[in-house]
Every structure is written in structure tokens, then in C-alpha cells.
Amino acid sequence: MSKKKDIMDATLALIHEEGLQSVTFSKLFKRAGVGSGTIYNYFANKEELVNAVYKDARMLMGEYLLRDFDPQASLYERFKRLQLNRLNFGIDFPMEFLFIDSYSFSPYISSELRNMDDARNSGEVILSLIVEGQKQGIIKEMDSHLCHQLIHGIISSILKGLYIEKYPMNETQVQQVLEASWKAILV
Amino acid sequence: MSKKKDIMDATLALIHEEGLQSVTFSKLFKRAGVGSGTIYNYFANKEELVNAVYKDARMLMGEYLLRDFDPQASLYERFKRLQLNRLNFGIDFPMEFLFIDSYSFSPYISSELRNMDDARNSGEVILSLIVEGQKQGIIKEMDSHLCHQLIHGIISSILKGLYIEKYPMNETQVQQVLEASWKAILV
Amino acid sequence: MSKKKDIMDATLALIHEEGLQSVTFSKLFKRAGVGSGTIYNYFANKEELVNAVYKDARMLMGEYLLRDFDPQASLYERFKRLQLNRLNFGIDFPMEFLFIDSYSFSPYISSELRNMDDARNSGEVILSLIVEGQKQGIIKEMDSHLCHQLIHGIISSILKGLYIEKYPMNETQVQQVLEASWKAILV
Amino acid sequence: MSKKKDIMDATLALIHEEGLQSVTFSKLFKRAGVGSGTIYNYFANKEELVNAVYKDARMLMGEYLLRDFDPQASLYERFKRLQLNRLNFGIDFPMEFLFIDSYSFSPYISSELRNMDDARNSGEVILSLIVEGQKQGIIKEMDSHLCHQLIHGIISSILKGLYIEKYPMNETQVQQVLEASWKAILV
DNA sequence: TATGAATGAGTTTTCATTCAT
DNA sequence: TATGAATGAAAACTCATTCAT
């Protein structure tokens, strides 16, 4: 099991450092510290390996997005929790976040995987929250997917700026981002 | 010059269709309708070709972003113009937009190019507009780069949802997006 | 190890038959009976391969030159032994001899390798012998390197004539050549 | 005519600097300062060009070898003249000398050219001189081609040592070399 | 399971040669 | 004659995958 983990970790790190297109098996073997044949005990081929790494990242993110999510909390509290979780996921797991963000639409990732439900179906949770807010007249009427994409996009973009150290990110900035994304969709 | 253009067009189209990692030279030659050696009259290698395509796309976008931009217009009008131009660029040039968005942070693109100033320095224009708005007490006080990233990210994200046909995009939606991005950064 | 040897043997043979400039990898693979990628497990590129072959040839020659060399023998005996060994090396290993002779000054061979000491430093042995003979008043006073080059050149030249069958080479001729090279440098 | 000369000069210089196997047409065109198609007005292909350069070098050498050769002079004088001319040719025309020496047996050079008579048939002159010396009992009895090869080889070898600056070469050394080659073949 | 030498299909790259101007 | 962009066959090289140990 350890070898499998080593291989997957090395894969993610190399994709992060050099991009999927320049991850070769020989780099991978050296990085993971395994023999070149070992991978085939775990993965039928390179595509399967990359998809497995992708799936793990998606599962981890799905788990993370609903941490400390309290369905009983106020709409605003729930919204902030979801947005904060997404932001924190990106901060804590930059490699996973960027891999998902960059390659979700790559032909390398199978479409079933791309469209998979997250661990606890966080996608649905967010959409319902949006619809609920619109019913209450708090959130502006618009296509719920558009709205979802909008608030999701803010977090993604902010994270990418953060990764290249365009700006600092401490409690102040975090609150500014959360508020901005909330205000963006209010009526 | 025509052959060079053919090669660059084919490159962009193939990257769009199959992703950078699966763009091979033989696909490229067939698509561009040139002989296999021709590319080396213009580009020393694949990386140089891709970087040239990237540079052209960036120049085109830089040009586009300041179309019909009236420095005398109101802050809100100028803001909307910039956001609308970005959105329209993405709608009119999906291949260019996605290429820039996907590969700007890829190690394949040289860092000089990634950090290049746009044609008419649209980046500076947006930043000044933000600072101006903050001085006037209209735009919320925050790191101007953070603010820039935020409104930029909304457009990018919306475009990516549009490309996979998550939602329609007509005049109504366009206005919703522009308003959302404006509200996001108001005090 | 065997594959590496096969590749190096095939390289030497091909260089001998067709010259360095017409040794292509596909000829090499067929000749060596290995797959086309195998060479890259041992040599990073063609230049490295050729240099390795050169180094081996030089080591073999260095070994050969001091065969049966008796430091206690008379000056003349030692001289004849060295010259005979060089001649016999060229007769027994024509490919190695010609490769060394032809490419030692080619830009293809790295200068470190060109200037490498032979296995048992036969170069030094010959130079000391010359100096010793000069001290004893037997060998004519002249630059010892010039003297070395002179007697070396006689053997090389004779071998090249032999290879194209310009003349026979049996015991009589061998003795004539050894004597000629000895007389050339006497006072 | 000037373009043709430019091309041939550039060819010889490049062969000297980098070896025949790395002389490409594009290097050649840049060096000669002509367009890439121009060569085909003068030479059908690369091989013909190289052979033309070889032929010119051989003609030049043939001419040079018999300079100031006086058929009436003493055997020793005639011998020294021939050897001195060869040595001086190598000193004055190192590129030509090395090209001839290195590539005479390359498959690139046509065999007719390789076996061509020198301008004034210097080969025959030397052979007759040897035979004459042997008849007079001055030069040792041996195969005349072997003898020729022997004295020729001394000069070649000395020149190659000179090119890599193994030793100086002024009047003293020149005389030493001529004497050595004479003594080598005396009875 | 784990290994890594060997493989060869596929990809990149070179470069002599052609040809329209 | 002179040019140099275009060519494509051939050469160099890569790298995922196999397989004997």
C-alpha cells in the first residue's frame, strides 16, 4: 500500500511542478523511489494512474467542502462556511486544488470522473442553498448554475493569485473575499 | 508569413481540442497543411511555437480589453466596459481565452511572457480604476491586486461554465454578471 | 553488460566500414541486434557512444603497448619491443588502430579523452626511453616529443599502407621497419 | 566564379574546424555568405562539392611537392627537397594537408580521385628516387612502396604533432626531421 | 510484489534538395 | 545566376510498457 501511495504522491507533485504533459514515467519512478515495473502492479497504465490521483483529490475536496457545515445555521452562515471551506482547501492543498482546476476538462480525465458527485455531494448543497436564498428574496434571481459558477469562480481566482503571491492572505483578506462573494449575489 | 500563421492557427485549435500534451507535430503538420520541416523555419522547437501562440493570444486580448474604453466616462461605465470587453473576448475567442487561462501558469510558458504587459497595458488601467474608486469611497478598501483578481475571476469562471453549456448567456445574463462583479467590490 | 558490448562492437565495425559520418542509429541497431531504445540505456547520445568506444580502444592499445616489456632489457631491446608492440597492435586490431588514428583529432572526440593517459602510461615509458638514450649519447639530441612523434609516425604510416595492401608484411618487413625507426633517431 | 570559390573555401574551413560529418549545408551557406540554392548551380550535390574540394587540395599539394625540384641534383639533395616540400606544404596549408590525410580513405571520396596522379606525378618521382638509391647501394633494399610510406609517414606524423603544438618547429627541427627520414632508409 | 533492462512505436528534429521568384 | 522558403525522407531520440528474474 505504501508503494501505491508513494507513486500517487509523486504523480501529484510532478504534475504540480511541471504540468501533466511533462510527467514521464522515468521522472515518476525516480521521484517515487520505486522500480519502473512497480506501477503496473497498481495501475494498468498512465491514464489510470492520473485518474486515480484525480479521484483522490476530488474525494478529499468533497470531504473538505462540507467540514463543520451546519444545515441548521443561517443562510449567510452556511454560505460563508462553504466558501471558507473551499478557500481553505485551496490554501491547505494547493497541489490538489490546482490539479482539479487545471485538468478537470482535460481529455486525460475520464468524463465519469469529471462529473462524479463529490463525497457528500457538496455541489447539490450549494445549489439548494442558492435556490433557498432566491426563494427568500435574499439572493438575486438568476440561473442557479450561473450563480454557483460565479461564487465558485471568485474563490478559484483568488487562490490562483495567492499561489503566485500577488497579495497576502490573512484573516482580513479572507473576510473581504467571503463578503465580496456574498454581496455579488445579493439582490 | 501565411505559413507561419497557418501553423499557429493549427496549434491553437489543436491545443483547444485535445490539450497541450497531445499536440504532436504530425497532427500539427496535417492540420496546418505544411511540410514537416516547415515549422523549423519559424520556430526552433515546440516550446517556442507554443509561446509564440500564447504571446499572440495575449496581444489580441490586450487589444480587445480596451475597445471602446472611454477614459472620460463614469467609474461605473468604465468598469462595465472593461468587464464586458473581457466577457466578450471570451465569447468571441474561446480558444484564445481558454489557452491563456489554462496555460498562463504552466511551466511550458516562459515567465517573461506570462508577466508581459498587455498591448495597451489594460492591467494598469484596471488597477488605476480600482484605486480611483477606492479613493472616492465607492469601491471597498482592499489590496488592489486582490480586487482585480476577484473581478477578473468572476468573468473567467462564468466563461468556463458557458463553454460547457451549463447555462445560457444572453443579454440578461450578461447584465447579471456585470452587476454581480460590481456589487462584489462596492463598499 | 552484453548488450552494451554488442553496441560498442557494432559501432566500431561500422565506423571502420563506412566512416563516422555514415554511422546512423538504425544501421547500428540492426548490426548490434538490439532494440532502438536500448542504446539510450547506456549512452545519452551518439557522441557519448563514440567517445566510449574511443576510450575502450585507447585502453586496449595502452595495455598492448607494454606487453612483454622488460625494463631491465637493453635500450635497443626495449625500443624494439615498444615499436613491435605498436605494430602488432595495428595488425591484430586494425579497427581499433584506425579509429584511434583517424579520430583522435576529430572534434567529435572530447579533448579530455584525447589527452588521457594510456592504461599503463606507455607514453611516459617511451619518452623516458628517448631521454635515457639521449643521455647515453645513443639517440640524437632533439625535442623528445618530436622524437616520439617521429617513431610513432613510422609505425602508423606503415600500418596504413599495409591495410590497403600496398605491400606484404612478414618477418623481413617487420624487421626492416623496426630498424628503420631505430636508425632514424640514432646520433 | 567568386561564389564557387567562396563555397569551396567555406567547405574546407568547416571540415577543418568541425569534421566532415558535421558540415551541414546551412552552416556552409552562412559561412560562405551565399543563398542555399546557389551551390546547386556549381555542384550537383554535397558529395560532388567535397570531392571538388579534395581534388583542388590534391592538385595544390602535387604542385607544391615538386617545387624547386632539380632532377640533376644529387640523390640526397633531391630527397631532401621532396621531404622539405611535403613538410612545408603541411605548414603552409594545414587545412588542405589534414583534409587529404584524414579523408583520402573515407567512402565519401571517390576512388578515382583518391588514386589520381598528382599534378606532376610526384608519387612516381619519389618511387624512382628510391629505386635509384637502392641501385646505387645507398638506400636499403626493401619494398619501394614500404620505403615510400615510411618517409611519407614521418612527415605526416610530425605535422600532426606540430598542429597540436606538441613542439616548436624552426630551422633546427626541420633539419632534424629531414635527416631522420634520410637515415631511416639508408643501408 | 518488486525490479529494471530491453523494447519499438511514435515523436521530434535535421538537413540535403527543390523550385518559384 | 542567385535566392531562400518549403519540403519530406531519414535520422535522432523519447518513453510507456513488457517480461524475465
Q: What is the DSSP secondary-structure string of C146-185? A: HHHHHHHHHHHHHHHHHHTTSS--SHHHHHHHHHHHHHHH
- Which residues in chain B are contacts of A108 at CB distance < 8 A? 19, 21
Rounded CA–C1' distance between A15 and F18, in angstroms: 25
Which of A169-173, C104-108, D22-26, D145-149 is least confident? C104-108
Residue D153 (CA) to nucleotide E21 (C1'), in angstroms, measures: 53
- Per-domain residue ranges of chain B: 1-42, 57-185
Instruction: Give the residue among B102, B90, B96 at the shortest CA–CA distance from B155.
Output: B90
Q: Which residues of A39-75 are buried (b: 16+ CB within 10 A; e: fewer)?
A: beebbeebeebbbbbbebbbebbbebbbeeeeeeeee
DSSP D72-119: TS-HHHHHHHHHHHHHHHHHH-HHHHHHHHHHTTSTTS-HHHHTPPPT
Angle at B65 between CA B63 and CA B67, to 5 degrees: 75
D41 Cβ within 7 A of any nucleic strand E atom: no
- Phi/psi region, residue A67 (left: phi>0; alpha: psi -120 to 50; beta: rest), is beta
Q: Please give residues of chain A from 44 to 83 whose alpha-adjacent beta carbon (CB) lies under 7 Å from any atom of strand F.
A: 45-46
pLDDT for the residue numbered D182? 97
| Closest chain A residue to B161, measured at CA | A149
Q: What is the pLDDT of residue A132?
A: 97
| pLDDT score, position A129 | 96
Please answer yes or no on whether D183 and C183 come within 8 Å at the CB atom. Answer: yes
Provide the shortest C-alpha distance from residue D93 to chain C (in Å): 17
The residue-averaged pLDDT of D6-16 equals 96
Q: What's the pLDDT at C174?
A: 97
* CA dist., res. B170 & res. B162, Å (int): 11
Please check whether residue D108 is in contact with residue D50, taking contact to mean a CB–CB distance below 8 angstroms.
yes
Closest residue to E12 measured CA to C1′: B25
Quickly give D25 CA vs F2 C1' distance in Å.
16
Averaging pLDDT over each range in A136-145, C119-128, D96-105, which range is the top one? A136-145
CATH number of this structure's domain C54-185: 1.10.357.10
pLDDT tens-digit profile of A41-59?
999 999 999 999 999 999 9
Nucleotide nearest to B35 (CA to C1'): F7
Please give the pLDDT value at position A116. 85
Report the pLDDT value the prediction gives residue A29, as an integer from 0 to 100.
Answer: 93
CATH 3.40.50.720 fits D57-185, yes or no: no
Note the pLDDT of residue C112.
87
Q: Of D107, D143, D173, which is closest to C146 when you measure between CB atoms?
A: D173
- Which pLDDT belongs to residue C21? 86
D24 CB contact with strand F at below 7 Å: no
Q: What is the pLDDT of residue B1?
A: 63
Contact A150 B19 (CB under 8 A): no
Mean per-residue pLDDT of chain C: 94
Q: What's the mean pLDDT in D2-25?
A: 93
Kindly determine whether residue D146 and residue C173, on different chains, have CB atoms separated by under 8 Å: yes
Non-local (6+) Cβ contacts of B128 within 8 A are none
Measured CA to CA, the distance from residue D7 to residue D5 in angstroms comes to: 5
| Per-residue pLDDT reduced to its tens digit, A98-132 | 999 988 888 788 888 888 877 678 889 999 999 99
**Cβ atoms within 10 Å of A32's Cβ, excluding its own:** 21
For residue C27, count other CB atoms closer than 10 A to its CB: 15
Interval B80-91 mean pLDDT: 97
Over residues D83-101, the mean pLDDT reads 97
Q: Is the CB of D145 less than 8 angstroms away from the CB of C153?
A: no
Report the share of chain B in percent with pLDDT over 70. Answer: 99
Q: How confident is the model at residue D114 (pLDDT cuts 50, 70, 90)?
A: confident
DSSP state of A167: S
Cross-chain CB nearest to B154 (options A107, A145, A153): A153
d(CA D138, CA D131): 10
Average pLDDT, chain A: 94
Q: Does strand E come within 7 Å of the CB of C160?
A: no
Nearest-CB residue to B166 (from A106, A149, A156):
A149
Least Cα separation, residue B45 to chain A (angstroms): 15
Q: Spell out the long-range contacts of A94-98 with Cβ–Cβ below 8 A and sequence spacing 24 or more.
A: A94/A16, A94/A159, A94/A163, A95/A12, A95/A13, A95/A15, A95/A16, A96/A12, A96/A57, A96/A60, A96/A61, A97/A61, A97/A159, A98/A16, A98/A160, A98/A163, A98/B105
Top CATH class, B1-42: mainly alpha
On average, the pLDDT of chain B sits at 93
Q: What is the mean pLDDT of residues B129-150?
A: 97
What is the CA C164 to C1' F8 distance in angstroms? Answer: 39
Residue C1 has pLDDT above 70, yes or no: no
Q: Please say whether the beta carbons of A164 and B105 come within 8 A.
A: yes
Q: Residue C138 corresponds to which cell in the numbers above?
A: 645513443
Residues C65, C118 contacting (CB under 8 angstroms): yes
Average pLDDT over residues D17-25: 90
A97, pLDDT greater than 90:
yes
